[in-house]
Structure 1
Amino acid sequence: MKVFITTYGSRGDVQPYVALGKRLLDSGHDVTLATSSRFQDFVCDHGLKYGYMNDRLLAIVDTDQGRELLENTNGVFAVVRRTLSMLKQVGPLQESLLEECWNAARQCRPDCILFHPKAYGGPHYAEKLDVPVVLALPFPMFVPTGECPMIGFPNLRLGAWFNRMTYRAVNRLMALSAGKHVRRWRAQHGLRKQRRFDMLHATDGREIPVLHAYSRLVLPQPSDWPESATTTGYWFMDESKHGPPPSEIESFLSAGDTPVYVGFGSMAGRDPERLTEIVVKALQKANVRGILVTGWGGLVRRELPDSILCV
């Protein structure tokens, strides 16, 4: 079976989908993964075919304005305000990404499409190609449940109606951000007008299956989810081939109590020096050892006490 996977964002938005693609590849399927060009080598190094999407939107995220958006996450409403303020700047880029991803999907000629919500063209490509589509989420954000609000919303304890509303609100916010671009793309490619933008339903009203790539031990699957939604567990890379850690880390691990890992991966704020200072003080206040991983610049190397290692 030919599988087309599309995702967009930072390393954390890409690596789980590469892991899934590698598992599908090992099971005998033909897998193409479309994502930002900055991850082309990463995709190909794991044996997957690569579908081109440009890097320009991520370049905006790397600016001070973009980092402020990622850094200040004091509630979903503040994030929404800052996101809407950037839409005029990123709108044309969204349309180019829609078309580039479509070109990759068309060339793949898949039997199935699996998409990350940031690559929201997935259902429309599937409709054009007349193939099944699956939404793959790194955390719960669209499927309504009365058991808890969507991450980022306050837990106001207003009951199930409020909790369900938070997920519907996120779906609506996606429509505000992406709906115009999707409508234009559909018109350009001869698809009928969509009555409303909906991440959970195809244009004909059919439910889109939803996979949630995290453990039920971290968040139990809600009892009121529809059959179309499920929690699969994490999609991890096979790290067994990497060998033992560097001697510096092994020596640190054997020198005392189990340390706390602190790292922000590919997420980088505007003031990594200050963030590093906050992390160091927190570890010292908690009286625990720590390993700091600088990643893509979220933390920085500096003089540290013996109880903390920076790599």
Structure 2
Amino acid sequence: MKILITAAGSYGDVAPYTGVGARLRHAGHDVALATHDAYAPLVRAAGLEFRRLPADPRTRRPDNAPAPDASPGGKRDLMRRAAAFIQELGGGLAEATTESTELLLLSTTTAPLGRQLAEAYGIPSLELGLQPNAPTGDFAPPVSGARSLGRWGNRAAGRLSLRIVDRLHGDATRDLRARLGLPPASPRTVRRRAEAAGRPVLHGFSEVLVPRPADWRSELEVVGNWWPWHAPDAQLPSPVEDFLAAGPPPVFIGFGSMAAGQGERLSGLAVRALRRAGVRGVLQSGWAGLATGPDGNAAADDILTVGEVPHALLFPRMSAVVHHCGAGTAAAGLRAGVPTVPVPVTADQPFWAARLAALGAATTPLPFRALFADDAVTRLAEAITQATTSPALHERAAGAARRMASEDGTGEVAKAVEALAAAEGLTD
């Protein structure tokens, strides 16, 4: 079967789908993944066909990004930029979808527009979400933070969150439907049609962190994480192995696609906190550009800077991990069985940070804005010390890792694809 996966956004929004695609290719399917140019090497390394999507966020990051702005004006600007990103994305998705496509697999960020493509081409689709965005009484929508509003309030906030997403996709949906020759319909109308039809949605996170809400409709499933693909024989680079062998397990610090333009300040903060805690460290440069030397590559005796290294290989060798708590990074730390120091920045990150802390596998979250305070070094050092010395944190993290080891998220996607193919008469 010819399958097209669509995924857009940061590394964490895209990389998990390379693991899904590789599993489906292994099952005998012809799989393409449409995403941004920056991830073409990752897609092709997984043995998948690469198709280009525009609006690559890596080419648009500011060189000197300010501290996160939580003001109403800052949020309005964020919404405007998101709408512009979505508008450009619509045309790219249309170009990536060919008449030979037999099944669409839609990521969280591409599903609202992808539904129009499925309708226009008359092909089945399956939505693969990375966050629990459907309304529930169990918790407020992840993008609203970690605070519960009570069961009624949580459900109301969840419905409001969906309406905001619909509004963001309004112009892009109108233009895409016109381009595809479809009659006018709002994103909300199309979404509610899918819900009424009982369309399945698979969620690629672990019930260890978020048990499936009992008030979800039956077609919403939680199947376990989808991990970024890496070669079965992949190993850590020699400089990393040499550093690890030279002393006790270090502490990882990285902020992924967050904090662009903040590298110099954050690097100094991280180094001082690690040394005050008396531990070795590994800094992952990420979009912030963390580094231990002016050229971004120099390594001190006790601290090493690395680029893109698979967390699946690196995290199990750490004594603790300090990060922004994106969904994938939060899960990777838990899978490795090591405690986390959560430093959430924005969006769904406070939600995942709170989940790790509630599980007992993380210290109390330290909001990213706290790293701008005068006592930032002290607070980060104290959290690192707690994460590396607390037996309870290590026991809870190790126990969660054992439970996650029994999950097979990509295998569940493969089963769902086969079932959908049989129902649609697409099997040989």
* TM-score, normalised via structure 2 length: 0.62
Percent identity between matched residues is 32
1:138 to 127, 130, 135: 130
Q: Distance in 2 between matches of 1:95 and 1:158?
A: 32
Q: What is the DSSP-based 3-state SS (H/G/I as helix, E as strand, rest coil) of the residue aligned with 1:33?
A: strand
Q: What is the DSSP-based 3-state SS (H/G/I as helix, E as strand, rest coil) of the residue aligned with 1:106?
A: coil
1:86 to 81, 92, 96: 81
Whether the 8 Å CA contact 2:32–2:49 is kept in 1: the answer is: yes
What corresponds to 1:194 in structure 2? 185
CA deviation after TM superposition for structure 1 residue 275, in Å: 1.2
Whether the 8 Å CA contact 2:38–2:56 is kept in 1: the answer is: no
Give the superposed CA RMSD.
2.9
What corresponds to 2:233 in structure 1? 241
What corresponds to 1:310 in structure 2? 305
> Would the alpha carbon gap of residues 73 and 15 (structure 1) be closer, same or farther in structure 2, given more than 3 Å must change?
farther
CA deviation after TM superposition for structure 1 residue 106, in Å: 2.3
What corresponds to 1:49 in structure 2? 49
Deviations 1:155-212 (CA, angstroms, capped at 9, x unpaired)? 5543111112232222122122111210222133222222552685446842432222
> Would the alpha carbon gap of residues 85 and 196 (structure 1) be closer, same or farther in structure 2, given more than 3 Å must change?
closer
1:230 to 221, 230, 243: 221
Q: Distance in 2 between matches of 1:34 and 1:157?
A: 36
Whether the 8 Å CA contact 1:5–1:115 is kept in 2: the answer is: yes
Is the aligned partner of 1:104 residue 2:96? yes
> Would the alpha carbon gap of residues 241 and 74 (structure 1) be closer, same or farther in structure 2, given more than 3 Å must change?
farther
Name which of structure 1's ranges 249-258 and 274-283 shifts more when overlaid on structure 2: 249-258
Q: Distance in 2 between matches of 1:103 and 1:78?
A: 34
What corresponds to 1:180 in structure 2? 171
What corresponds to 1:21 in structure 2? 21
2:250 to 255, 259, 270: 259
Q: Distance in 2 between matches of 1:195 and 1:251?
A: 56
CA deviation after TM superposition for structure 1 residue 286, in Å: 4.1
What corresponds to 1:72 in structure 2? 68
Q: Which has the higher helix share?
A: 2
Counterpart code for 1:72: P
What corresponds to 2:62 in structure 1? 63
Is the aligned partner of 1:293 residue 2:288? no
Name which of structure 1's ranges 257-266 and 31-40 shifts more when overlaid on structure 2: 257-266
Counterpart code for 2:32: T
Q: Distance in 2 between matches of 1:94 and 1:74?
A: 22
Q: Which runs of 5+ in 1 are unaligned?
A: none
Whether the 8 Å CA contact 1:18–1:46 is kept in 2: the answer is: yes
Deviations 1:235-267 (CA, angstroms, capped at 9, x unpaired)? 222443213x23433343344433221123344
Q: Distance in 2 between matches of 1:234 and 1:145?
A: 20
> Would the alpha carbon gap of residues 16 and 275 (structure 1) be closer, same or farther in structure 2, given more than 3 Å must change?
same
What corresponds to 1:123 in structure 2? 115
Q: Distance in 1 between matches of 2:257 and 2:270?
A: 17
CA deviation after TM superposition for structure 1 residue 147, in Å: 1.0
> Would the alpha carbon gap of residues 195 and 173 (structure 1) be closer, same or farther in structure 2, given more than 3 Å must change?
closer
1:166 to 150, 157, 179: 157
What corresponds to 2:209 in structure 1? 218
Q: Which runs of 5+ in 2 are unaligned?
A: 307-428
Is the aligned partner of 1:275 residue 2:274? no
> Would the alpha carbon gap of residues 78 and 96 (structure 1) be closer, same or farther in structure 2, given more than 3 Å must change?
closer
> Would the alpha carbon gap of residues 24 and 184 (structure 1) be closer, same or farther in structure 2, given more than 3 Å must change?
same
Deviations 1:126-167 (CA, angstroms, capped at 9, x unpaired)? 111122222222222x21111112224255543111112232
Is the aligned partner of 1:153 residue 2:144? yes
Is the aligned partner of 1:209 residue 2:200? yes
CA deviation after TM superposition for structure 1 residue 45, in Å: 2.7
Deviations 1:13-61 (CA, angstroms, capped at 9, x unpaired)? 221111111110011011111111232233223221222222455533x
Q: Distance in 1 between matches of 2:192 and 2:143?
A: 24
Tell me how many residue pairs correspond in the alignment.
Answer: 300
Name which of structure 1's ranges 219-228 and 262-271 shifts more when overlaid on structure 2: 262-271
CA deviation after TM superposition for structure 1 residue 4, in Å: 1.1
Name which of structure 1's ranges 8-17 and 264-273 shifts more when overlaid on structure 2: 264-273
Q: What is the DSSP-based 3-state SS (H/G/I as helix, E as strand, rest coil) of the residue aligned with 1:197?
A: helix
